[in-house]
Amino acid sequence: MKLILAIIKPHQLESVKVALSKVKVFRLTIMECQGFGRQHGQQGLVGGDEIALNLRRKIQLQVAVNDEFVHPTVQAIQQSAHTGEIGDGKIFVVNLEDCIRIRTGEHGPAAI
Ligand SMILES: Nc1ncnc2c1ncn2[C@@H]1O[C@H](COP(=O)(O)OP(=O)(O)OP(=O)(O)O)[C@@H](O)[C@H]1O
Ligand SMILES: [Mg+2]
């Protein structure tokens, strides 16, 4: 099991949701967040010594998946969130120790 954390541009959310549904991923959590990457939140590359750390609004998707879904999920997010501009986002893939489905008490892959 993996936890896929994807930080994307808010405008790409609808296309990412459609892409995930096409690979049969129908369970996810979405959080509004702010952050910056290697341009320190600038819209474009700027010269000079001054570094402004401007937070940008992003959406973080959290998707817990079983192993066979990892590659299709990452691929779907990568393709649907891509605009080619800076700030398109990042996908982190994290090992997931366990999952417990509260209503049934199931554990592990069956609970995902
Ligand atoms: N190493 C990181 N750790 C935590 N959050 C990150 C990291 N890199 C990026 N993020 C988050 O992802 C968002 C989008 O990152 P972004 O796409 O700008 O990354 P980048 O490395 O600057 O790539 P690009 O050059 O394509 O802009 C950031 O606003 C931040 O919230
Ligand atoms: Mg960036």
Q: Is the shortest distance between the CB of 41 and ligand 1 below 6 Å?
A: no
pLDDT of residue 49: 58
The reported pTM is: 0.92
Q: Top-level CATH class of 2-111? A: alpha beta
Q: Which amino acid is at 107?
A: H
How many other CB atoms are there within 10 angstroms of residue 74's CB atom?
Answer: 18
Task: Look at residue 53 in the predicted model and tell me its pLDDT.
Answer: 75
pLDDT (tens digit, 9 = 90+) per residue, 55-74? Answer: 899 999 999 999 999 999 99
Q: What are phi and psi of 74, to 5 degrees?
A: -60, -45
User: Ligand 1: does its nearest atom lie under 6 Å from the Cβ of 6?
Assistant: no
CB 1 within 8 Å of CB 67: yes
Q: Pick the atom of ligand 1 nearest to 36's CA.
A: 29
Q: Which whole number is the average pLDDT over 42-53?
A: 60
User: What is the distance between the alpha carbons of residues 8 and 79, in angstroms, rounded to a whole number?
Assistant: 11
Confidence of residue 39 (pLDDT cuts 50, 70, 90): confident
Ordered by start, the domain boundaries in the chain are: 2-111
CB of 87 shorter than 6 A to ligand 1: yes
For residue 5, the model assigns a pLDDT of 98
